[in-house]
């Protein structure tokens, strides 16, 4: 496969600057509502705040890849006297937890850096974080060319994981007859 230049978009997260307001969750869920901004609901947000005020744990984490199997990681990390679960840092939409799944369908959610036309200067969660706990960063990397699955394909794949290919095919067939 050919090497291509790829723009890597990332969000630098400064835990010390987070004031715990969850504006990032509001902004994200509103941006991704259909039609855009028509509703908001942190449970649908692709960025979530792991928050435990009395132990001073404030950790925004944004959604990464979907994974069908949970990993074995259940370790604890102690930093500056504060205890974090390994999962708190993990961006996966994973069977071991509720995070990064659509509350109605259970379908996985993934951060798309607020892809839009025209493109946003930076993702909305970053724009709405006036305390700069979230900072948008871009860099270029040379990577192997890859074929990116479409959104529908990602969704279907997880349905297949959950219910099996046959059941999904039967359902689609039945639905297409009804139409």
Partner 1 sequence: MRYAETGYNLEIDLTRGNIERVETDPKLTELHLGGLGTNAKILWDRVPPDTDPFSPDNLLIFGTGLLGATPAAGANRTVVSTYSPQTLLMGYSMMGGFLAPELKYAGYDKVVFRGKSPELVYVWIHNDKVEIRDAAHLKGKGAVETAELIKKELKDPNVQVAAIGLAGENRVYTASIEQGRSSASRLGVGAVMGDKRIKAIAIRGTKDINLARPAEYVELCNEVLKYIKFRNENPVPNVMTILQGLGSPQEMLHTDEKWHTENFMWGNARTRRKDFWNSEVEKKWKDTQEMVRTRLISCYNCPMKCGAIISVPGISTYMMKCFSKLTYAMAAFVDDLDFGFRIAQRATEYGVDGFSTPQIMAFAFELREAGILTEADFEGCPSDNEGKFFWLLDRIARREGIGDVLANGTHWAAQKIGKGAEAYAHNNIKKHEQLPLKLGMLNPVYFLMYATGEKANITQIEGQFPQGPFMTMEERQGFIKDWIQVPDEKFKQYVLDWEPRGERSNPYYPTVDMSVDIVDWQEMMHYIDDAVGVCAGLSSFPLKPPYHIHNYPKLISAAAGIDMDEEKLKEVYRRNRSLIRAVNVRRGLRRADEKPPEDHWKKRFPELEEKLLDAYYTFKGWNKDGIPTKETLHKLNLDYIAEDLEQRGIIKNG
Helices 165-178 + 151-163 axis angle, to 10: 120
Going by DSSP bridges, is the β-strand pair 57-62/47-52 parallel, antiparallel, or unpaired? antiparallel
Does 154 engage in binding with partner 1 (CB under 8 A)? no
Does 120 engage in binding with partner 1 (CB under 8 A)? no
Least gap, CB of 31 to partner 1 (angstroms): 9
Does 56 engage in binding with partner 1 (CB under 8 A)? yes
Does 135 engage in binding with partner 1 (CB under 8 A)? no
List Cβ neighbours of 40 (8 Å cut-off, separation of 6 or more): 26, 29, 30, 33
Question: Which 8-state DSSP code applies to residue 30?
Answer: H
Does 105 engage in binding with partner 1 (CB under 8 A)? no
Least gap, CB of 21 to partner 1 (angstroms): 4
- Of the candidate residues 4, 10, 51, 165, the single one contacting partner 1 (CB under 8 A): 51
How far is it, in rounded angstroms, from Cα 10 to Cα 60?
Answer: 13
Q: Which tokens belong to 136?
A: 């948008």
Size of the site for partner 1 (CB under 8 A): 32
Provide the binding-site residues for partner 1, judged by CB under 8 A. Answer: 19-23, 26-27, 30, 33, 35-44, 50-56, 58, 103, 128-131
């Amino acid at each position: 496969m050919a090497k291509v230049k790829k723009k890597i978009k990332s969000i630098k997260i400064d835990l010390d600057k987070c004031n715990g307001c969850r504006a990032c969750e509001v902004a994200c869920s509103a941006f991704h509502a259909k039609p855009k901004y028509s509703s908001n609901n942190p449970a649908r947000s692709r960025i979530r705040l792991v928050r435990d005020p009395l132990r001073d744990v404030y950790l925004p984490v944004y959604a990464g890849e979907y994974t069908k199997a949970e990993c074995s990681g259940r370790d604890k990390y102690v930093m500056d006297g504060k205890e974090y679960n390994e999962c708190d840092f993990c961006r996966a939409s994973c069977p071991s937890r509720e995070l990064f799944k659509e509350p109605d369908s259970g379908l996985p959610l993934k951060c798309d850096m607020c892809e839009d036309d025209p493109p946003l200067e930076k993702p909305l969660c970053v724009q709405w974080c006036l305390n700069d706990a979230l900072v948008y960063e871009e860099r270029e990397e040379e990577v192997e060319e890859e074929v990116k699955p479409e959104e529908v394909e990602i969704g279907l794949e997880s349905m297949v994981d959950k219910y099996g290919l046959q059941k999904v095919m039967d359902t689609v067939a039945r639905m297409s007859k009804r139409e």
